[in-house]
Homo-oligomer: A and B are copies of this chain.
Amino acid sequence: MRTDEGTAGPDDGIPDDVALLWGRRGGPRRGPRPSLSVADITRAAVAVADADGLDAVSMARVAAELGNSTMALYRHVRSKDELLALMTDAAMESPPEREPDGDWRAGLYAWAHGVVAVSRRHPWFARLPVGGPPIGPHNLAWLDRGLAELEPVGLPPDEAVAIVTGLLIYTQGGIRLGAELAVGYAADPDAFGARYGRLLGALVDPHRMPALARAVAAGVFDGTGTASPPPEHDATAGAEFELGLTFLLDGIAAHIARRGTPGP
């Protein structure tokens, strides 16, 4: 028995866990008709995490949500870690359709906001282990969409990948400090806003942290504090995210301009 190839068929050396991600682990059809599918299980797990947080995702809870027993899940998923990997890809949903109009900047701007919007619907996303480079269908689809926006510019492919990855790095940070922060806001809105500013005033020693103390004294943290937008805002992670994204796109634009127009 091979340990690495699974029973999917003649696919080239695709590891078993990756095959699962792509829905290619259907063995030969025999025995009773399955009442559960991997897609069902993943959907239910995502729903539980969306509703009650990542810690509420237990095999028992997911099974209960599906009206099945706990152990039934293990016929479709080898371990909980495998289920988490499925959730990692499912959380990204599918990138929206969008025809490239030649404006790479607006395209990448919308792309970044799309990634943040998706992660805001699944705030537990940033707490999942990474495990490896992107390999699931949804993650790769997003990567493709980003590269497509940049394609008319005519950069060498490795540079385009590096730029999209850089944007993804920034966006992932926005998710962690923005989308996931919204969970904390929902749990305790008082910890934000004016009380946060007062707390900083009481804690920050002007001798040890002079620059921060000055910002606190200036009242910067009294309003909608650092990276803490009320969730009524749109899908972004707040003004700080916007500003940084603008700067990042500015830097990319300068780089592209420096290269001159594409072609020979």
* Residues of chain A at the chain B interface (Cβ within 8 Å): 11-15, 18, 22, 126-135, 137, 140-141, 143-145, 147-148, 150-151, 157-158, 160-163, 165-178, 180-181, 183-185, 187-188, 191-192, 196, 198-200, 202-204, 208-215, 218, 220-221, 225-228, 237, 239-241, 243-252, 254-255
Nearest chain-B residue to A237 (Cβ)?
A: B169
Number of copies: 2
Min CB–CB distance A244 → chain B (angstroms):
3
Nearest chain-B residue to A146 (Cβ)?
A: B211
Residues from chain B with a CB closer than 8 A to the CB of A180 are 129-130
Residues from chain B with a CB closer than 8 A to the CB of A185 are 132
Leading 9 A-B pairs by shortest Cβ distance: A166-B244, A247-B251, A173-B173, A144-B209, A250-B251, A172-B173, A147-B211, A144-B212, A169-B173
Residues from chain B with a CB closer than 8 A to the CB of A130 are 176-177, 180-181, 183-184
Residues from chain B with a CB closer than 8 A to the CB of A131 are 183-184, 187
> How far, in whole Å, are A145 and B198 apart by their CA atoms in the complex?
21
Q: Are A161 and B250 in contact (CB under 8 A)?
A: no
> How far, in whole Å, are A203 and B17 apart by their CA atoms in the complex?
13
